[in-house]
Amino acid sequence: MNLTKIGVVFLALITACLGIQAQTADEIVIKYIDAIGGKSKLEQIKSAYITGTTQMMGNGAQSTTRILEGKGFRLEYEANGQKVVQVFTDKGGWQINPMMGSTTAQPLPDEMYKGSRGQIFITGPLYNYAAKGNKIELLGKEGNDYKLKITNVDSVETTVFIDGSTYYLTKLTRQANFMGQSTEMTISFSNFKKTDFGVVFPYQTEINIGGQFTITNTLDKIEINQPVDPAIFEMPKS
């Protein structure tokens, strides 16, 4: 190979490297937003009514989720014949969880609330991230995935993985408290479909807590901008 050819190859490698470096966190977020439906669609989302099935510890149950964008999230399902309710709002959270010895509404532990209250946003943590109090940082690539670190208003850090081909958010990881111990929680997203509203959502979610506990949610239907009564997010009085 003569010097001219070597120079051409070297220049191509430099150009490729510069191209990778030029991909910023904001550019990846823009591509992600475009991939799932676009800014104009996402800004129209005000509420969601979601039905599906929750699989946990070998048992399956129908689940219902109601979300009021930026205000409240309520998940309900049955486990061993007992109703479980989990609620997050922009001000706090509570749950009724007989499996944890609670048959009446109890406030969520502070750490659990701070780590998961982002569920009140149907649009996710990346859309309009600064207005939601989030900061983002591009960590690089892992295989075909872009890795971004999201730090929320409570300084909770979450690493999200954006597929470099589809620009869908396919996985996130964060530290969580499980049985009194800090462990890594991984949430994987798959079976992406476009709703009648025109926005793409993952219809299957798998939550893995330290390899010890797994919850799988399979969605049947997502209805956007259905009426949601804000009163359902209020914690019942004992």
pLDDT digits (tens, 9 = 90+) for 167-201: 999 999 998 876 667 889 999 999 999 999 999 99
Domain assignment present for 103 = yes
User: Does the residue 235 lie in any domain?
Assistant: no
Whether residue 188 contacts residue 216, with contact meaning beta carbons closer than 8 Å, is answered with no
Read off the tokens for 204. Answer: 């299957």
| Structural domain includes residue 109 | yes
Is the residue at 237 inside a domain?
A: no
Establish if 238 belongs to a structural domain.
Answer: no
Q: Quote the pLDDT of residue 2.
A: 56
pLDDT digits (tens, 9 = 90+) for 83-122: 899 999 999 999 998 877 778 999 998 888 988 899 999 9
CA 224 vs. chain centroid, Å, equals: 17
The total of structural domains in the chain comes to 1
Q: Domain range for residue 189?
A: 25-227
Amino acid at 123: T
Backbone φ and ψ for 47, nearest 5 degrees, come out as -160, 165
Q: Which amino acid is at 39?
A: K
Tell whether 3 is covered by a domain. Answer: no
Q: Would 18 be classed as within a structural domain?
A: no
Q: Which single residue is written with the structure tokens 């219902």?
A: 64
The answer to whether 199 touches 36, Cβ cutoff 8 Å, is: yes
pTM: 0.84
- What would you report as the CA-atom Rg of the chain, rounded to the nearest whole angstrom? 20
Q: Does residue 167 fall inside a structural domain?
A: yes
Comparing CA positions, the residue from 114, 122, 123, 129 lying closest to residue 73 is 122
> In angstroms, rounded to a whole number, what is the distance separating the alpha carbons of residues 185 and 187?
7
Name the nearest CA neighbour of 187 among 204, 201, 164, 199: 204
Q: What is the DSSP letter of 104?
A: E
pLDDT of residue 238: 66
Q: Say which CATH number the domain at 164 has.
A: 2.50.20.10
